[in-house]
Amino acid sequence: MAANNVPNQASPYFLHSSDQPGQLLVTQLLDGDNYPTWSRAITMALEAKNKLGFIDGTILKPEPNNPNFSNWVRCNSMVQSWLVHSTIPTIANSILWIKSARDIWLDLLTRFNQKNAPRIFEIRRAISNLSQGTSSIAAYYTQLKAYRDELDSYRTVPTCVCGVIPNFNDIYATEHLMDFLQGLNDSFASVRSQILLMDPLPSVTKAYSLFLQEERQRSLSDSRSITLEQSDMAAQHSTTSRDGNNKPIYYCSHCDIEGHSDSRCYEKIGYPSWWKHNLGPNKNRRGTSSRGGRGSRSAVSRNHPTVAAVASPSESQPPVHLSQTQINQLLSLLKITGNDQPLANFA
């Protein structure tokens, strides 16, 4: 007798070993404002478990002497527990003592299923204000599709065999396509124009696929442009750098040395006022000697190029002041090389 009461897997009274009272059927709990999407998710979950009849009224409570009475009680309690755990705690406490899953479903329907007109207005306004912005094509389309699917759930399509129903479906599909094209960024205007010129118009999923391919192609082009730009910058950096130093290299044609430019060469443009204590009796402030002309200046520059380099007006170096003792020591060191004649003016 007991063996005959065990339901088979196709029976709505069958419970799998994985079915648990505390199991969550949906990830988004009912909070009062999301009833349309929540009820749709719960309906799908119960239908997959072959338990939808316990909330839609198709599986009624049998008489106590019926062989399936105990099976109904067990499955009804399981569905009740699923509904309770699919709501937030405040709502769960208000339905905990209701005795059947069908009554719980009707109670939630009465409380949270508001009239369709206000919600339809909210959805249509959200769709009209929706735009891609900084989002990707996939993110924008996913959000739009969620609005459209909820809006379609409020539409009641009449049942008939006159052939009018396909026309309704075509109208809804065209509206969906126009909503999708309207919110795209202007950077996709060329692709959008090509789609609008198609006859017949493609489905919104086909249009989404075309825009997704265009977006991916642009991302590849942008990545290549960035790579080429980085390579160009690296090449420019290598040509302007010397031994890891990014500072510009100056060259003085007057002294035939590097370290300062012609415009900063004191041997050519003359020494400043703060350098006059280093000038000898035979040299004026413009750096010209009383004898020897340019040849003597060039000789001084070539034999002792550091003088002009030190005199270069660097932004970070202060004026160099040498005492008479330091000058004498410098002259003594230079006389050892036998080139003391050109530097007589430093005495």
> With 0-12 CB in 10 A as exposed, 13-18 as middle and 19+ as buried, what is 69?
middle
Range 221-226 contact pairs with CB under 8 angstroms and sequence separation of 24 or more: none
**Per-residue confidence in pLDDT tens, the chain, 347 aa:** 444 566 788 888 888 888 888 888 898 899 888 888 898 899 999 999 999 999 998 999 999 999 889 999 999 999 999 999 999 999 999 999 999 999 999 999 998 887 678 888 989 999 999 999 999 999 999 999 999 988 887 776 666 666 666 677 788 889 999 999 999 999 999 999 999 999 899 999 999 999 999 999 888 876 655 555 666 666 665 555 555 555 556 788 888 888 778 787 878 787 777 765 455 544 444 444 444 444 444 444 444 444 444 444 444 455 566 777 878 887 877 776 555 455 445 44
Distance from C-alpha of 287 to C-alpha of 294, rounded to nearest angstrom: 10
Please name every residue paired with 30 in a beta bridge, in sequence order, or none if there are none. Answer: 87
Q: What is the pLDDT of residue 112?
A: 86
Please name every residue paired with 87 in a beta bridge, in sequence order, or none if there are none. Answer: 30
Measure CA of the first residue to CA of the last residue in the chain; give whole Å. 130
Please report the sign of the dihedral spanned by the C-alpha atoms of residue 160, residue 161, residue 163, residue 169: positive
203 to 4, 176, 180, 207: CA distances (angstroms)? 52, 9, 11, 6
Q: What is the pLDDT of residue 297?
A: 45
Q: What is the pLDDT of residue 289?
A: 42
Q: Are 215 and 226 in contact (CB under 8 A)?
A: no
User: Over the range 316-336, which residues count as b (16 or more CB within 10 Å of their CB) and which as e?
Assistant: eeeeeeeeeeeeeeeeeebee
Distance from C-alpha of 13 to C-alpha of 68, rounded to nearest angstrom: 8
Look at residues 129, 174, 126 and name the one whose alpha carbon lies nearest to residue 150: 126
Q: What is the pLDDT of residue 227?
A: 58
Say which residue the tokens 């999923």 belong to.
205
Helices then strands, each counted (H, E), the chain:
14, 2
Q: Is residue 42 left, alpha or beta, with left meaning phi > 0 and alpha meaning psi from -120 to 50?
A: alpha
Backbone angles phi, psi at 30, to 5 degrees: -70, 125
Backbone angles phi, psi at 88, to 5 degrees: -70, 160
Q: Please enumerate in sequence order all residues whose Cβ is within 8 A of that of 136, keeping only pairs 6 or more positions apart, or say none.
A: 215
Distance from C-alpha of 334 to C-alpha of 271, rounded to nearest angstrom: 22
pTM: 0.49
Residue spans per domain, the chain: 3-112, 116-156+167-217, 251-346
Q: What is the pLDDT of residue 318?
A: 55
